[in-house]
Structure 1
Amino acid sequence: MTDASTMWVDDVLADLDRTGPVPLYFQVSSALEAAIRSGRIPAGARLENEIAIGQRLGLSRPTVRRAIQELVDKGLLVRRRGIGTQVVQGQVTRQVELTSLYEDLKNAQHEPGTRVLTHETRPAEAGVAEHLSIPVGTDIVYLRRQRLTDGIAVALLENYLPPEFGDITTEQLETRGLYQILRARGVTIRIANQKIGARRAHGDESELLGIDKGGPVLTMERVAFDASGRAVEFGHHCYRPDMYSFETTLVAK
């Protein structure tokens, strides 16, 4: 390693066959993939830049770039602006079920993290009031959080809650999932209306998700109801499409 977070890959790529029929980019990609999947290159490790790898190992930059892109496309590597190329544990695939992202990451053996960007009480605007079935102007709790998996930002979460949840603390939000917090307060979430879509990133989303300015994001909007039919949460979230996907099972009638 060159420092605590950047990893040399010389040993991993020591056995390249430079005269055989297998393209060098494919050999580089395959060797790196095997090292990542075996844990030899651990999740969170940062690779050197393409120029440095190529110069030290006698490979052209296009060869290294194509090899790296193969692993980015597979969800094993992610390019982060200002940081470089970093190893992840693979794309997060989320079942379309009534669970929280925090729980899904835990169940998939990822390590979730949270940065609370906004935690405040504000008057409900018309759209939010309609979703929560409350009068316009009613004080509601507004949350905006950056969700990370294995240290890499994967989603931005915006949630609106009825005023009785105003005593939820920032510390709770940083260490637990929102649905965990609600269940601990005796809230039983029974049903939700959910819409999945896509759009271009806007505002500070590109920076917070580490993607190109105006790049595509997946979106999810959800209104969750408790056992009595009362709306207890309205959220709209956006996700990095190269690190996240939704999965559902369809049954013919």
Structure 2
Amino acid sequence: MSDHYEPTVVIDRDSDEPLYRQIAEPIEQAIISGELPSGARIEDEISMAQRLDVSRPTARRALQELVNRGLLTRRRGVGTTVTPPQVHRPIELTSLYDDLTREGFTPTTKVLSYEVHEADEEEADRLAVEPGTGVVRIVRLRSVDNRPLAVLTNLIPIDLAPSWTDLNEHGLYRCFNEHGIHIATAKQVIGARAATAEEAELLAEEPGAPLLTMSRSAYDSAGRVVEFGNHVYRPSLYSFDLTLVAH
């Protein structure tokens, strides 16, 4: 029995619809309907081209169309698989941990490093403190349903920083709230860049793979910077949702 999915495709060579779309559409419908579950393997383009009697570029384009739409994921050594459900995060003043829990996912956190040191000039500027002030730099790996999702790096004034233990069990903003620290406003920038070798290993991606980025400076009601975050996310599992209103 084959260990990969071979789509049932009826090729109509007289149709105006391109051949690659005639191949891609049945796979798309199988994914949307749930017939093809998350992680299911799809036959490779060589096998598909031979079985359907189409050119290899046609089969490759059919698969690439679904990759571009986020329905399939290609990884060296693994092949082409159905992409797991994506986490769609609204742009709100909330923590990733709480957002994931609210959406029905099971998030887990691993604290990779917890460094206490004196702020250099750049760190002092980020937190609006004097150079030499005590700060904590924390790096965490956030996973969802046992799949690595994001590497979270936060810089926090030492007098506000939660413990290593608390951060392993809860999201940062929940830790803040439990200690009477309430976020009032934040400045946030979203972007993208290539994964470093270290990030790729942590996130099960290839070095140089595209990652979503988000940096955030969060302030309490008195205007004090309580944390600066610099995070990277796997775009195959994660996206930001924005609602735009015309004035």
TM over 0.5: yes
* Alignment CA distance shift 1:85-1:139 (3 Å): farther
CA distance in 1, matches of 2:134, 2:10: 66
> SS in structure 2 opposite 1:41?
coil
Q: 1:133 matched to which residue of 2?
A: 128
For 1:217 and 1:30, the matched residues in 2 are separated by: 27
Percent same amino acid at aligned positions?
46
What CA deviation, in whole Å up to 9, does each residue of 1:83-129 have, x standing for no partner? Answer: 33332345443322111223333344444444433233233222222
For 2:97, give the aligned amino acid.
Answer: Y
Deviation of the 1:34 alpha carbon: 1.9
Structure 1 residues 98 and 200: alpha-carbon distance in aligned structure 2, compared to 1, 3 A threshold: same
**Cα RMSD, aligned residues only:** 3.2
1: CA distance between counterparts of 2:80 and 2:107? Answer: 20
Aligned residues: 245
Which residue, out of 146, 151, 154, partners 1:156? Answer: 151
Q: 1:249 to 1:203 in 2, by over 3 A?
A: same
Q: Which aligned pairs between 1:229-244 and structure 2 lie closer than 5 A?
A: 229-241=223-235, 243-244=237-238
> Aligned in 2, Cα 1:93/1:164: closer, same or farther, shift over 3 Å?
same
1:83 is matched with: 78
2:174 maps to: 180
Tell me, yes or no, if structure 1 residue 98 matches structure 2 residue 84: no
Q: Tell me the CA shift for residue 236 of structure 1.
A: 1.0
* Amino acid aligned to 2:100: L
Secondary structure of the equivalent of 1:181? helix
Tell whether the 8 Å contact from 1:141 to 1:165 is kept in structure 2 after alignment. no
- Structure 1 residues 153 and 184: CA distance shift in structure 2, 3 A: same
Q: In 2 relative to 1, CA 32–213 (structure 1 residues): closer, same or farther, beyond 3 Å?
A: same
For 1:73 and 1:57, how far apart are their aligned partners in 2?
Answer: 22
Task: Name the residue aligned to 2:25.
Answer: 30
Which digits, 9 at most, give the CA deviation of each residue in 1:36-94, with x for residues without a partner?
22222222444454445556676654344222222221112222344333323454433
Contact 2:40 2:81 in 1 (8 A): yes
Q: 1:211 to 1:232 in 2, by over 3 A?
A: same
1:246 is aligned to 240
Q: TM-score, normalised by structure 1?
A: 0.76
TM-score, reference length from structure 2: 0.78
Query: Which of 178, 184, 197 is the aligned partner of 2:191?
Result: 197
Q: Secondary structure at the match of 1:204?
A: helix
Runs (5+) with no aligned partner, structure 1 = none
Q: Which amino acid aligns with 1:27?
A: Q
Read off the aligned partner of 1:180 and give its amino acid letter: R
The aligned residue for residue 8 of structure 1 is: 4
Deviation per CA, 1:122-178: give whole Å up to 9, x if none: 3322222222233323332222223344554443221112223555235x4445322
Secondary structure class of the residue paired with 1:189: coil
Instruction: Give the counterpart of 1:65 among 60, 64, 69.
Output: 60
